[in-house]
Amino acid sequence: MRSESVTDESLPSVCVVTHPLAAAGENATRSLLDTLSAVTSVALVTADLPADSEIRDRHELVELTQKGAGDSVVTAAVRFLLNQLRMCRVIADRDEDVILFFGATSYLLPIIAARLLGKTVLVEPRGDVPLTLRLNWEQQLPDQVAAGLAGAVRALERAGFAASHGVITYTPEMACQLDLHPESPSVYPTGARYVRTDEFRVQRPYGDRDRVVGFLGRLDEEKNIRELAAVAAELPDDVTFRFIGDGDLRAWLESELASEIERGAVELTGWVDHDDVPAQLNDLSLLVLPSQPTEGLPTTILEALACGTPVLASPVSGVPDVVRAVSYTHL
């Protein structure tokens, strides 16, 4: 179904193309579609969209397949190629003037196909995908093999940048991390992110909050959860550390911090529905995100700031453009 937003028919219509979407990517894509649909007509081409996604009811959707990226490298490579061929076929049948590859920056075949069809082609990275893949592949393959495969993905991404009409990044720092010049005429370095400020707002005054430090996101290696666990175990007795989310390292956390969990110094909430995230952020006195340089600009940072929650984050990619260095004497 199409969104019921009022659009300007003089503006070019947009077809957003993404890779298979997990829950985290679905939130960012939904916000992008909601923003675009406020000014023009928009459709989404993707794969493996969560069954309960609001996108299904709010926007026109073309789902290439209900299969995800795949667990093994070989499966992921085959599905990556098949999805590109499917994207080419779908784009050829679309009437939109602009094709925006959101996160799918290494999908070179459909990028080239869209150019040959006379479309305006834009790509918008969501982070350093080749680095993310390398870190994941190093868990399955020898380091040299993982680095070689990630290098091939990076080459595809660079070719996608070159083949498109323009590259959109969230901030100038993110452009620099991706080896793009922020002042280049084909780089648009202020793409920013999108937050639903009607939902993400101050609900609980900061002075009324307990001394709770928290992390919100996937509990996996990419988020430096092991380092956070070491910090959580050393906090003062009157400070609680709350892990909000779920992931591969949850069982490890439960074992590593068993004594802290038992005495209430550490809390694990498990998976939290996105509708409940504003309340969680309003409970925190500080949000900590020690991400590796695979991030672009985590939406969680903007959502926390909108809720009046200070953020301590790694200075990677677009983060330094949003989170300023401040000296804290106490929480």
In a domain, 329, yes or no: no
Provide, rounded to the nearest whole percent, the portion of the chain with pLDDT above 90: 58
Is residue 34 scored above 60 in pLDDT? yes
> Residue 2 falls within a domain, yes or no?
no
- Which tokens sit at 2? 């199409």
Res 22: pLDDT = 67
* Residue 331 belongs to a domain: no
Does a structural domain hold residue 197? no
Do 21 and 167 lie in one domain? The reply is yes
Q: Are residues 48 and 89 in the same domain?
A: yes
Full strand arrangement of the beta sheet holding 212-216:
266-270, 240-244, 212-216, 286-289, 311-313
Give the model confidence (pLDDT) of 47-64 as tens digits. 988 888 889 989 999 999
Let me know whether 60 and 183 are in one domain.
yes
CA 115 to CA 256: how far, in whole Å?
52
What would the mean pLDDT of 241-262 be, rounded to a whole number?
93
Pair (182, 131) in one structural domain: yes
Buried b (16+ CB within 10 A) or exposed e, 147-157: eebbeebbebb
CA distances from 215 to 64, 190, 208, 238, 242 (A): 34, 26, 20, 17, 6
Residue in the block written with tokens 């992390």:
215
Q: Is the pLDDT of residue 69 over 80?
A: no
211 and 121 share one domain: no
Q: Over 90: is that where the pLDDT of 206 sits?
A: yes
HEC letters along 261-287? HHCCCEEEEECCCHHHHHHHHHHCCEE
* Residue 208 pLDDT class (50, 70, 90 cuts): very high
260 and 161 inside one domain: no
**What is the pLDDT confidence band of residue 9, given thresholds at 50, 70 and 90?**
low
pLDDT tens-digit map of 169-197? 988 988 988 899 999 999 999 886 778 88
Q: Which domain holds residue 153?
A: 14-188
d(CA 216, CA 301): 10
Same-domain pairing of 164 and 100: yes
174 within a domain of the structure (yes/no): yes
Choosing from 154, 188, 222, the residue where a domain stops is 188
Query: Considering the entire predicted model, what is its pTM?
Result: 0.80
On whether both 148 and 266 belong to a single domain, the answer is no
Residue 150's CATH number: 3.40.50.2000
- The closest of 327, 326, 233, 231 to 288, measured between CA atoms, is 231
Residues 216, 165 share a domain: no
Judge if 57 and 174 occupy the same domain.
yes
Do 153 and 212 fall within a single domain? no
Domain total in the chain: 2
Q: What is the pLDDT of residue 303?
A: 92
Q: Please, are residues 281 and 326 in contact by the beta-carbon 8 Å criterion? A: no
User: Is the same domain home to 154 and 66?
Assistant: yes
Residues 126 and 21: beta-carbon distance below 8 Å:
no
Query: Would residue 3 count as lying in a domain?
Result: no
Domain membership of residue 195 (yes or no) is no
